[in-house]
Amino acid sequence: MLCDIVLGLRDASVWMPQNAMKPAAFEYDAPDHIDEVLELLAEHGDEARVLAGGQSLVPLMNYRLARPARLIDLNRVHELAYIEEDDAGIRVGAMSRQRTLEHSVVLRERCSLITQAVPWIGHAQIRNRGTIGGSMSHADPAAELPVVARALDAKFLLSSASGERWIDAEEFFVSFLTTAAQTTELLSEIVFPILPDRSATAFVEYARRHGDFALGGAAAVITLDADSDVCRQARISLLGAGPIPERAPSAEAILVGRVIDEAAIAEATEAIEASIEPTGDMHGDSEYRCGLIGTLAGNAVAEANAKVATSR
């Protein structure tokens, strides 16, 4: 039921419960430091929700699909907003704004798939407030940043009053709007590993209008051999293909060990279309979306491969 209603919120005509646009009463905290946040989560657990950009949580609260008894506002926790590079890769604090990601020189030069994907997120006003941690935690399979995380094999740092733990992107996204984070845990950082030499990326999606929720999309990471155009590694992550951002292992296997030409891309596209069953809606049934996602994935592979093949 929740899944159906949230999907309905993407359309102009939606089911509106009584008292829509007015959230249920809640307590409000605005801590200044992450330690305070973790203490509040430890104390209130299931009753609390954290507020980052609010682009996803606030509408759910207004429609009373989310009714937290306590709201913990992260916007004063400035220590969670940073983009840094070290031996582990690119570290991004969970409160980093999407607009900051979009214009980051470090990301553009070292992790360009993020800067390729972020402009597809809503409009500039949305990206000014939206955060990377909020998008990941909301776990919408039609959102761009979770798809990027799967393609780049990102790692997530979950912090709590009792300690920290790391979890891979493959395990972080559990189901529609559901992650592996416990109610006492806060997603505090995402790490994106640096790609090998001779790698390139591409992100594509399709929406009825720019800024609308995408009907489908894909991210591709292609790595070629050092001295030839044979594919050494391929990663394909799909947007809108299922309840989580899906990888396409059968298609990836088709590409590895061969030169990526039209025939290879066609085979990979067929493998993707045979392996997914996307949900249909008023904008396109499952069969339409299946073909769309397969085509977009093929386009992403072709674009990434063309970038790296001409880079020698």
Please give the residue range of the domain that contains residue 40.
Answer: 2-73
Query: Closest Cα to residue 92, out of 116, 124, 114, 123?
Result: 114
- Total domains present in the chain: 3
Whether 151 and 224 share a structural domain: no
Note whether 122 and 185 are same-domain residues.
yes
48 contacts 72 by C-beta, under 8 angstroms: yes
Strands 83-86 and 70-73, sheet pairing? unpaired
Is the domain of 108 the same as that of 36? no
Final residue of a structural domain among 144, 168, 192: 192
Summarize pLDDT for 200-223 with one digit per residue, the tens: 999 999 999 888 889 999 999 999
Structural element, H or E, at residue 287: helix 286-309
The answer on 82 and 63 residing in a single domain is: no
Which pLDDT score is estimated for 213? 87
Q: Are residues 217 and 293 in the same domain?
A: yes
Over residues 86-115, the pLDDT tens digits come to 999 999 999 999 999 999 999 999 999 999
Same domain assignment for residues 146 and 126: yes
205/305 same-domain check: yes
Ranges in the chain, pLDDT < 50:
1-2, 4-5, 12-15
Residue 311's Cβ-count burial label (10 Å; 0-12, 13-18, 19+) is exposed
Where would I find the beta strands (DSSP E) of 111-253? 155-160, 163-168, 173-175, 178-179, 186-192, 199-206, 216-224, 231-239, 246-247
Domain shared by 50 and 120, yes or no = no
Tell me: do 272 and 214 sit in the same domain.
yes
Whether residues 115 and 203 fall in one domain: no
The CATH number for 96's domain is: 3.30.465.10
Q: Which of 141, 162, 192 is the last residue of a domain?
A: 192
Tokens of 15: 């089911």
Residues 255 and 291 in one domain: yes
Q: How far is CA 52 from CA 95, 133, 146, 186, 191, in A?
A: 7, 8, 16, 11, 19
Supply the pTM of this predicted model: 0.92
Q: Say if residue 89 is in the same domain as residue 106.
A: yes
CB atoms within 10 A of CB 90: 21
Among 73, 101, 131, residue at a domain's last position: 73
| Predicted local confidence at residue 13, as pLDDT | 41
